[in-house]
Amino acid sequence: MTRMLQILVAISLVSMLMVTNVAAATSQGLEWGVAEDDKFNYTLTIESENDTISDGVYFEITSLSTIPNTMDNFTDIPITSSTWYWTANDTALSFWSLFLIILPTAIVGGYNVVPIGNYDLLTTLHSDFIGAEEELENVTVTYINNYHYWGVSATWDDEDITMTLETTFLKSDGALATASMSGELEDETVSLSLTRLDLPSEIETLIMSNILYIGIGVGVVIILGAVVCKKN
């Protein structure tokens, strides 16, 4: 357990280097998809080659700030006021326990809620925020933008450490869906993940993200069937 935490701390230092300055953009079409007193439940898991620890956590929104009409920076997105608790006894997480929540969300600046609506704008703002292409070496950043989720995945790979951070938000409400951090240091792999309990199934996500192609395929089958029937 001690070894696992040591590796997590080492990996976290790298993750903090993956956040840089922000560039300009124009904001429109964003709104909150959550409300005060909303509650979101998760499973927090720490896993190494020899040990796995998991527990239930949740956060509750206490207040929301007004979203600016124009945002130039990703960090202009207001931080929702919220408190994290252990599910088992409803006690608030301590500072060091809360650190385990912040680590896997470092790639998105530690946000646990983002506005919904204009996801192209969020991608643009975040792309400038992370500044990976211009300022960070050995980092590959990709964006997740399908029917159910918007998010960011980044991989840092050099001679000493390999690390991957991925954070997604549910498009229906903008609240954190998943956050994970995994890294390999000195031939040992440790992962930290936070997974929301009420997520859509992977099959549903696959279908809805490709509904246009599925619809076209069904249409083609119907047309071919009609042609065959007409010939007969």
123 contacts 143 by C-beta, under 8 angstroms: yes
> Averaging pLDDT over each range in 55-59, 139-143, 206-210, which range is the top one?
55-59
User: CB burial class (10 A; 0-12, 13-18, 19+) of residue 226?
Assistant: exposed
Q: What is the pLDDT of residues 34-75, one digit of tens each?
A: 999 999 999 999 998 888 999 999 999 999 998 998 888 898
Greater pLDDT, 160 or 101:
101
Burial grade of 227 (CB within 10 A; 0-12, 13-18, 19 or more): exposed
Burial of 146: CB neighbours in 10 Å, binned 0-12, 13-18, 19+: middle
Average pLDDT over residues 178-205: 81
User: Is the predicted pLDDT of residue 200 greater than 90, yes or no?
Assistant: no
Mean pLDDT estimate for the chain: 79
Confidence at residue 135, expressed as pLDDT on a 0 to 100 scale: 55
Q: What is the 3-state secondary structure (H, E, C) of 19-79?
A: CCCCCCCCCCCEECCCCCCCEEEEEEEEEECCCEEEEEEEEEEEECCCCCCCCCCHHHCCC
Span 147-170, mean pLDDT?
89
Say what the pLDDT of residue 161 is. Answer: 76
Domain residue ranges of the chain, discontinuous segments joined by +: 2-199, 201-232
pLDDT, average across residues 124-133 = 78
The model carries a pTM of 0.75
Which amino acid is located at 115 in the chain?
Answer: P
pLDDT tier at 121, thresholds 50, 70, 90: very high
